[in-house]
Amino acid sequence: MSKASYYEEHSGVHALLLTPFNEDKSIDYKTYEDYVEFQASKKPEHLFAVCGSSEMSSLNIEERVKLASLAVRHAGSSHILATANMEPSWFAQVEEVKRIEATGVDGLVFVTKGYGNDPDRMFTYLAELSTFTKLPIMLYEFPGFSPHKMTGETYKKLVDTGRFVSIKDTTCTMPEIKQKISVQGNSSVLQANIPYLFEAYAAGARGVCATPTSCGAALFVKMWSEFSSGDIQAAKETFENVIMLDNAIDSGFNVSAKYLLSLQGVPFKPINRGATTLSPSRMHSIKVFYEWTINHGIKL
């Protein structure tokens, strides 16, 4: 397989999946099924279930497995990825890897598990855990377990094992982003930081995996398509709309994204398992933004 065909399979838009909740904060699985289909209709290359934005830290293993299973069932042609190492103990994580793989997902996601200050331990932990699956693995610098950042050197060592195909980079600085891009080889560095998204693409990042994809995936699909086809000016103009979306939902995420989705016809309630709420003025601001996108023919 050529270098290009290898990384292209794991590049592009990785749209995040939120978790809808009922008033009692149980999961609204029916809305989730509708939402997965809604996200898949935007034609991202990948859907990322069981992620930080889906509040995976507040979900138990049974809930995470069920969400991954439903995502697979309703994803259409989009590939499904799901985090598979949230459990606290090593043995529980090995079992988790097997259970998430059994849902039929196309790839697993491993978080860095707080080993950011010990690169050798991080490498050994992730490399050993990868031996329990044959699926491709995306790495995720998940801030829920800090320190979470991975050095470019560690990333290269993991890519060289042949088991790791991409990373959701959350360093949020161009020097650190470029460090990983310089060693990505056949893998794909995916950008999570919206302000530097265009610059990251220009530097060689091979896709996006960021919070606003949860409620505006079509914008990201458009921008990636434009950039990949060489229409750089169009991609830059679409990026300006991406920035507007990011600013619109930045305060109060992920409830803000859920409210924006409700305006788009997905019956989310503005509820999460944390303490985040939206004031009437914030809801009005998001509504004004949504009406602006409609008036300007901008598809989220």
Residues 171-229 have pLDDT tens digits of: 999 999 999 999 999 999 999 999 999 999 999 999 999 999 999 999 999 999 999 99
Could you give the C-alpha distances from 187 to 30, 58, 132, 172, 263, in angstroms and in order? Answer: 35, 30, 20, 19, 37
pLDDT at 49: 98
Residue 47: strand, helix, or coil = strand
Alpha helices in 130-229 (DSSP H): 152-160, 174-181, 197-203, 217-228
> What pLDDT score was predicted for residue 47?
98
Report how far residue 15's alpha carbon sits from residue 31's, in angstroms, rounded to the nearest whole number: 17
Over its C-alpha atoms, the chain yields an Rg (Å, rounded) of 18
d(CA 98, CA 221): 31
Measured CA to CA, the distance from residue 84 to residue 133 in angstroms comes to: 10
Residues 53-68, mean pLDDT to the nearest whole number: 98
3-state secondary structure of 110: strand
Using an 8 Å Cβ cutoff, are 135 and 106 in contact? yes
**Whether the predicted pLDDT of 66 surpasses 70:** yes
pLDDT tops 70 at residue 277? yes
Distance CA 121, CA 256 (A): 37
**CA angle centred on 135, ends 68 and 12, rounded to 5°:** 75
Mean pLDDT over 145-167 rounds to: 98
Question: How many residues can be counted in the chain?
Answer: 300
**Helix residue spans in 42-173 (DSSP H):** 61-74, 90-102, 119-129, 152-160
Q: Is 50 exceeded by the pLDDT of residue 230?
A: yes
Instruction: Summarize pLDDT for 122-147 with one digit per residue, the tens.
Output: 999 999 999 999 999 999 999 999 99
Determine the pLDDT at residue 9.
86
Specify the pLDDT at position 275: 94
pLDDT at 245 over 90: yes
Q: At what angle do helices 119-129 and 90-102 cross, to 10 degrees?
A: 50
Alpha-helix residue ranges (DSSP H) falling in the chain: 3-8, 29-41, 61-74, 90-102, 119-129, 152-160, 174-181, 197-203, 217-228, 232-250, 255-263, 280-295
Contact indicator for 257, 211 with CB cutoff of 8 Å: yes
What CA–CA distances, in Å, run from 191 to 81, 166, 171, 229, 271? 16, 10, 9, 19, 27
The predicted structure's pLDDT at residue 2: 38
- Residues 107, 121: Cα–Cα separation, whole Å: 23
pLDDT over 80 (residue 249): yes
Q: Is the pLDDT of residue 5 over 50?
A: no
What is the rounded distance in angstroms from the CA atom of residue 123 to the CA atom of residue 154?
Answer: 6
Q: Tokens representing 8? A: 């292209």
Domain ranges of the chain: 3-231
Please state, in angstroms and rounded to a whole number, the distance separating the CA atoms of residues 225 and 12: 9
User: Top-level CATH class of 3-231?
Assistant: alpha beta
State how far the Cα of 34 lies from the Cα of 46, in Å rounded to an integer: 17
**For position 8, what pLDDT does the model report?**
63
- ∠ at Cα 128 (123, 132), nearest 5°? 140
Burial of residue 234 (CB within 10 Å: 0-12, 13-18, 19+) is: middle
The pLDDT value recorded for residue 3 is 36
